[in-house]
Amino acid sequence: MKNTFLLLFLIIGCFTSVCAQEYHVELSITLKNYTGGFYKNQEIKLTSKTDGKIFKASTNKDGVASFKLPTDDVYTVYISNYSRKRDVIVPNIRGGSMKNTFSYAPDMVEIQKKFEMSANEKLELKTFITTLPDTLKLKSSQKAPPTVNKKFYARTSIQLKDLKNGPLTDEIITITGEKSNKSIQTITDYKGMALVYLPKGDTYSINFIYNKNYAKYTIDYSKASPVIKLRYSYIGTAQIKKRKEIEKLRLARLEEELKKEEEAFKSECDRLGLTLEECRKREIEELMEYNTDEENQVITKVMDRNNWKNKLVVCDLTGSMSPYSAELFIWYALNMSKEKDIQFTFFNDGDDMEDENKMIGETGGIYYSSAIGTDQLLNLSAKVAAAGSGGDVEENDVEAIIRASSAAQPFKNLILIADSDSPVRDMELLENVKHPIHVILCGFDGTVYTDYLNMAWKTKGSIHTIEEDITRIARMSEGQSIKIGDHNYRIMGGSFILID
């Protein structure tokens, strides 16, 4: 009996802890003295960028320190005799090992201190920078070395690679100092290279036509003559323009289809002698009774897989979302007795507002309701759906989330039921959202709008399809990739990019 109890305990322990743990990787870091030998008995500290957890280890006689780290994270490296800032990216892999080598001089920290500028030298540099033009536009990828005040500059080369790891040519780069607000604009050559000379003592943002603040790099106040080499992967302006044109055509076709569906729906309502609201209610009731398409059961499947309590559900009721609203009501009818604290918000992207009048944050068409019976909820959803006029494909998801959060009673989980075919018009408002967003993708066909990935990632939320719950997105960092459906996506310059 005692052994049986122990076995039961181990099984339960597996379900509650071990089986729920993330995968780990064995990371070895070698500290090499580039004048010869290794650094032994040197402590290395790694700090997780996800939760701030600290991992420590000391090097052995061969200069090697070993760590066992959770995967899918980025760790900041601290070594007392190493002065540069370094991060180690641990991808989402099932076990395995990684190796890193740091090669540096034993007096690296002392040298850095030795070459620090004095207060007078810093003041002289700052005064000199004020004489520079606000924006210097270079005519070629290679800037000639400065002929005066050479000591104030750092030679900086920038190499750009495209998504296939080839050279990104003819890419315009604008480099702007945060303190000085002075900019240099250059362009990459056939090797994807650009050479500039940047004043020291500033943090510089790397900007592209479609991506501002893509990356940042700090150049210290130093009397040394640093040679800086920056390397970045980027989709490229030409590729972005191409994708925008393709997307423009797709959205135009989709808008035309939705317009025809809306006109046909209104004609049928007129034939039946019903108002739009009565017709929408009738449509949802029929879908609730007869729709058995498994593709439209994403809400039920996701809700059943996730034990979310005290929910605030924000649901898109535009376009072709009727089958999913019907499914939401079916799920609610079956679970109403245990969902007494659930709250709902429905939105239709501006009621009957003309597209040209839709302002970011002021589009409207947002309706909140606390937990009510299924009949009242059905009436409300029919009213919201009927009030929408179709219009463009973009939706005011973030505005709806913000308004819902403000109107709602205290809640624990914010769930967005989104149309995976529709882009989000107001992503710029996302910084005002204070809760993780759990995004349920309706109509998912293997491709995700990166708006929804960014929404989940930046709020530490999650993405949900009919087949999987993608919760690790909340822990991802710059440079990491994830596969969802048929495609891979990577965080580049602070946003998700479709890779293939």
What's the distance, CA 258 to chain centroid?
Answer: 29
What is the phi-psi region of residue 310: left when phi exceeds 0, alpha when psi lies from -120 to 50, beta otherwise? left
Assign domain 116-234 to its CATH superfamily: Carboxypeptidase-like, regulatory domain (2.60.40.1120)
C-alpha angle 82-85-88 in degrees, rounded to nearest 5: 105
Answer yes or no: is pLDDT of 165 > 70.
Answer: yes
Residue with tokens 């002075």: 182
Phi, psi of 299 (to 5 degrees): -65, -45
Answer yes or no: is pLDDT of 271 > 70.
Answer: yes
Residue with tokens 């602070």: 494
Q: What is the reported pLDDT for 261?
A: 87
Q: What torsion, rounded to 10 degrees, do the Cα atoms 350, 373, 420, 427 define?
A: 50
Q: What is the pLDDT of residues 294-331, one digit of tens each?
A: 666 899 999 999 989 999 999 998 877 888 988 998 99
The residues near 265 (Cβ < 8 Å, ≥ 6 apart) are 279, 283
- The DSSP secondary-structure symbol of 466 reads S
Q: What is the reported pLDDT for 167?
A: 96
Residue with tokens 């463009």: 392
Q: What is the pLDDT of residues 51-88, one digit of tens each?
A: 899 999 999 999 999 999 988 788 999 999 998 888 88
Q: What is the reported pLDDT for 1?
A: 39
C-alpha angle 349-350-354 in degrees, rounded to nearest 5: 115
Collapsing DSSP states into helix, strand and coil, what is residue 230?
Answer: strand
- The DSSP secondary-structure symbol of 447 reads -
Asked if the domains 24-106 and 116-234 are classified in one and the same CATH topology, the answer is yes
Q: Which residues pair with 395 in a beta bridge?
A: 424
Which of the pair, 197 or 288, is modelled with greater confidence? 197
Which of 57-61, 92-96, 469-473 is predicted least confidently? Answer: 92-96
> Could you give the C-alpha distances from 126 to 130, 132, 203, in angstroms and in order?
7, 10, 14
Which of 137, 142, 241, 138 lies closest to 191, judged by CA?
A: 142
Q: What is the reported pLDDT for 95?
A: 64
How many residues are present in the chain?
A: 500
Q: What is the reported pLDDT for 37?
A: 94
How does residue 41 score in pLDDT terms, banded at 50, 70 and 90?
A: very high
Answer yes or no: is pLDDT of 458 > 50.
Answer: yes
| pLDDT above 70: percentage of residues in the chain | 93
Question: How far is Cα 130 from Cα 216, in angstroms, rounded to an integer?
Answer: 21
Cα Rg of the chain (Å, integer): 28
Q: Options 1.10.1380.10, 1.25.40.10, 2.60.40.10, 1.10.357.10; which CATH number does 24-106 get?
A: 2.60.40.10
pTM: 0.79
Domain limits of the chain? 24-106, 116-234, 239-498
> Could you give the C-alpha distances from 245 to 209, 239, 250, 498, in angstroms and in order?
16, 10, 9, 15
Q: What is the reported pLDDT for 2?
A: 38
Structure-block tokens of residue 185: 């604009």
Q: What is the pLDDT of residues 401-434, one digit of tens each?
A: 999 999 999 999 999 999 998 999 999 999 999 9
- The DSSP secondary-structure symbol of 131 reads T
Q: Which residues pair with 441 in a beta bridge?
A: 418
How does residue 387 score in pLDDT terms, banded at 50, 70 and 90?
A: confident
Answer yes or no: is pLDDT of 20 > 70.
Answer: no
Q: What does the mean pLDDT of the chain come to?
A: 88
Question: How far is Cα 70 from Cα 48, in angstroms, rounded to an integer?
Answer: 9
Please give the sequence-ordered ranges of beta strands (E in DSSP) within 234-330, or none if there are none.
311-316
Contact between residue 435 and residue 455 where contact means Cβ atoms under 8 Å apart? no
Q: What DSSP string runs through 136-183?
A: EE-SSSBPPPPSS-GGGEEEEEEEEE-TTSSB--S-EEEEEETTT--E
| pLDDT above 90: percentage of residues in the chain | 56
Question: How far is Cα 371 from Cα 341, in angstroms, rounded to an integer?
Answer: 6
Q: What torsion, rounded to 10 degrees, do the Cα atoms 110, 112, 114, 115 define?
A: 170
Contact between residue 414 and residue 405 where contact means Cβ atoms under 8 Å apart? yes
Contact between residue 349 and residue 319 where contact means Cβ atoms under 8 Å apart? no
* Side chain identity at residue 428, one-letter code: E
Phi, psi of 175 (to 5 degrees): -110, 120
Collapsing DSSP states into helix, strand and coil, what is residue 384?
Answer: helix
Q: What is the reported pLDDT for 219?
A: 92
* Side chain identity at residue 85, one-letter code: K
Which of 49-58, 120-129, 280-289, 454-463 is predicted least confidently? Answer: 280-289
Which of 111-115, 225-229, 292-296, 463-467 is predicted least confidently? Answer: 292-296
Collapsing DSSP states into helix, strand and coil, what is residue 231?
Answer: strand
Residue with tokens 């109509």: 443
How does residue 293 score in pLDDT terms, banded at 50, 70 and 90?
A: low
Which of 110-124, 326-340, 346-360, 449-463 is predicted least confidently? Answer: 346-360
What is the phi-psi region of residue 295: left when phi exceeds 0, alpha when psi lies from -120 to 50, beta otherwise? alpha
Q: What integer is the mean pLDDT of 184-198? A: 96
Answer yes or no: is pLDDT of 93 > 50.
Answer: yes
Answer yes or no: is pLDDT of 120 > 50.
Answer: yes
Q: What is the reported pLDDT for 370?
A: 83
Answer yes or no: is pLDDT of 10 > 60.
Answer: no
Answer yes or no: is pLDDT of 14 > 70.
Answer: no
In which element (H, E) is residue 74 found? strand 73-79
The widest CA-to-CA distance across the chain, in whole angstroms, is: 90
Structure-block tokens of residue 100: 């890193």
How does residue 173 score in pLDDT terms, banded at 50, 70 and 90?
A: very high
Question: How far is Cα 419 from Cα 442, in angstroms, rounded to an integer?
Answer: 5
Query: Helix (H) and strand (E) counts for the chain?
Result: 10, 25
How does residue 4 score in pLDDT terms, banded at 50, 70 and 90?
A: very low
Which of the pair, 226 or 94, is modelled with greater confidence? 226
Question: How far is Cα 385 from Cα 276, in angstroms, rounded to an integer?
Answer: 9
* Side chain identity at residue 354, one-letter code: E
Structure-block tokens of residue 47: 């700090």
Q: What is the reported pLDDT for 289?
A: 82
How does residue 348 score in pLDDT terms, banded at 50, 70 and 90?
A: confident
Structure-block tokens of residue 394: 């973009």
What's the distance, CA 376 to chain centroid?
Answer: 37
Which of 33-47, 210-224, 380-394 is predicted least confidently? Answer: 380-394
How does residue 3 score in pLDDT terms, banded at 50, 70 and 90?
A: very low
Which of 475, 244, 426 lies closest to 416, judged by CA?
A: 426
